[in-house]
Amino acid sequence: MTVDTIKIELGDRSYEIGIGAGNLDGIGALCKKLGLSGTAAVVSNTTVAPLYFQRVEASLQAAGFRTLLVSLPDGESYKNSATLNLIYDALVDASLDRGSFIVALGGGVIGDMAGFAAASYLRGIPFVQVPTTLLSQVDSSVGGKTGINHPRGKNLIGAFYQPRAVLIDVATLDTLPEREFRAGLGEIVKYGAVLDRDFFSFLEDNAKLLLARDRDSLIHAVSRSCAIKGYVVEQDEREGGLRAVLNYGHTLGHAVETLTGYTNYLHGEAVAIGMVQAARISQQYGFCSQEDHDRIVSLIVSLGLPTELPPFPAQAYAEALSHDKKVRQSGLLFICNNGIGGHRMERIKDLTALLEICGIGE
């Protein structure tokens, strides 16, 4: 049963996020309530589909929908145009029309690709997010960012396209591997570090309960994360200003992912590394105290996440950063924490100096 509902207010693109434990079987009733029709193309992967597709299929069929499973290979390295075409091929082969819809069942990679397919197939069909990883539940399933990676950068190709609804069942986290679960906690830290000091304190006080996957602690952490992100998206849907704050830790995190070919680090792990460096840079710039820096690093360490940048030359990091979506002629937009719970956005032209603060030399 859903225990929390968060409304994302975006005019005619508004939608609700339902958060609970054991509510996965309500997906069919939810889609019917939304007025969806036709065939539900469930886009998933070879890891998640065997665990949850039968339940989702049964619920959708009980609500009167036809179903189609589109099962993709699992992993960030498959978030590309070739895999996206597999979705299009399946939709075309099944003759899906604009009266049908997509259900994204899986983690962030599935949500991003299924959402982009929904945004672009027949110039747009509805989709519903059913995130099954902690990372996707608190981040990628909310806010309408969809897309794929390019060999020269992460998420360079995509569209803003809001889902019709998001259904989050924290019980699906029971089957999530420990490493992926911890990676999701890394993304949660971001919200407290730059947007909610009290939430950061909650994470410090409840780190052990969260690591133990305590349901009540998880529901609160997921709900608060979604509420914070929802507020930011409502103010700045297309990342023209405030929404950029959600990239805290992501600038160097994306560089780490790019340089390692999206294979060595999970996204949340790369973001954790990026947050440690962002806290270091923020402290050097005078935006936060040494104590604030140490609290951020300590929380990340307590959650079992990595903190060190992999050893690539400064030139390699500079090249990766130069392809970041936040680069303009005036420099790289870098998100700093202002104390804990606040933020600063800085335009940085001298990437060499930035990297030197992180201990990266030529």
Query: Does one domain contain both 190 and 169?
Result: no
User: pLDDT tens digit string along 206-261?
Assistant: 999 999 999 999 999 999 999 999 999 999 998 888 999 999 999 999 999 999 98
**Using one digit for the tens of pLDDT, what is the confidence trace for 48-73?**
999 999 999 999 999 999 999 999 99
In a domain, 243, yes or no: yes
- What is the per-residue pLDDT for 326? 65
**What is the pTM for the complete model shown?**
0.92
**What is the mean predicted confidence (pLDDT) over 342-352?**
92
The total number of structural domains in the chain stands at 2
Answer yes or no: do 278 and 238 share one domain.
Answer: yes
Q: Which residues are catalytic?
A: 123, 145, 187, 229, 239, 243, 247, 250, 254, 267
Cα distances from 211 to residues 4, 20, 224, 296, 317, in angstroms, run 21, 18, 17, 17, 32
Query: What's the token pair of residue 33?
Result: 């309530």
Give the model's confidence band at 328: pLDDT under 50 very low, under 70 low, under 90 confident, else very high: low
At 258-314, the pLDDT tens digits run 999 888 999 899 999 999 999 999 999 999 999 999 999 999 999 999 999 999 999
H-run or E-run covering 354: helix 351-357
Answer yes or no: is 362 within a domain.
no
Q: How far is CA 107 from CA 19, 48, 180, 246, 328, in A?
A: 16, 9, 10, 18, 30
Q: Which domain holds residue 316?
A: 182-357
Which domain-ending residue is among 119, 145, 175?
175
Q: Which residues pair with 91 in a beta bridge?
A: none
Residue 94: its pLDDT value, please? 97
pLDDT of res. 329:
64
Residues 223 and 273 both lie in one domain: yes
